[in-house]
Amino acid sequence: MIADQILTPLQFLLGGVSGGLVGFTLGLVGGGGSILAVPLILYLVGIKSPHVAIGTSALAVAANAAIALGNHARRGTVEWRCAGIYAAAGVVGALIGSSIGKAFDGQRLLLLFGILMLVVSVLMVRHRAHEGNALIACGHDRLPRVLSYGGMTGIFSGFFGIGGGFLVVPGLMASTGMPMLKAVGSSLVAVTAFGLATAANYAFSGYVNWPLAAIFILGGIGGCWLGARMATVLSARKGTLNSILATIICAMAVFLIHKSAHG
């Protein structure tokens, strides 16, 4: 099977370090996990197949997102109703998107991934001063908007094999009007669900390296805890979390576009 690449002890160590970085990012900004995970698995750990990197990262990020979700839930920064509706629509989209994504050439998929990241980073910077409404509720009037945003985010998440947090956070803010910190916490419900749906689809085709996923998840536990604590502190500074996420996305977008363009 293509995912059965034998890893060296050094590669396992790098996988654990990579998991820590991804977990920290998920806990801090609710997204960016797969944006980091895919290139880290490809270029730091040394997995040869882009599809295996995508499938493995989807599983690992889903698990790390679930851990980060627990940290945010204890701090009261999760809007469960909004997050649940958004995630339910997105899971359907993720299954559709991941089925399409498996049929694409791996390098072309990474190039499109990088372009999408650049677009999202620009949108995040434009809306970095958004404060939102901390008392927001997902009533019937908001239901069509939340479902449509969730479905489209899920399609992109599945297609690119990502948890989708960097899309879910702005999607939740746009569809519900919630503030950044609650969007970060709530997004992790969808990130977990999207990642599991995508990973299941890729695993069915043999595109998950299970030992690497396990060490990646273990490395992410401490990172998730530290990131969630820092997110609570930084949320008091207007636009800080938005700017951090936008910067991470933009930097990784440029890197991915460069690497995919040069093979």
Q: Name residue, tokens 């609570």.
A: 232
The predicted model gives 234-251 an average pLDDT of 70
* Count of other CB atoms within 10 angstroms of residue 198: 34
Q: Say what the pLDDT of residue 242 is.
A: 66
3-class secondary-structure state, position 237: coil
Q: How far apart are CA 169 and CA 150, in angstroms?
A: 11
Q: Where are the alpha helices (DSSP H) in 45-176?
A: 50-74, 80-101, 106-126, 143-160, 165-176
Q: For 10-47, write each residue's pLDDT tens digit.
A: 999 999 999 998 888 877 776 666 677 888 898 899 88
Which residues are CB-neighbours of 74 under 8 A, at least 6 positions away? Answer: none
Burial of 19 (0-12, 13-18, 19+ CB in 10 A): buried
Q: What predicted TM-score, i.e. pTM, was given to this entire model?
A: 0.73
Q: For 95-153, write each residue's pLDDT tens digit.
A: 898 888 777 776 677 778 778 778 877 776 765 555 555 556 676 778 889 999 999 98
> Which tokens is 70 given?
């627990």
Helices (H) and strands (E) in the chain, counts: 10, 0
Residues 44 and 18 sit within 8 Å (Cβ to Cβ) = yes
Higher confidence at residue 164 or residue 28?
28
Which residues are CB-neighbours of 11 under 8 A, at least 6 positions away? Answer: 45, 46, 212
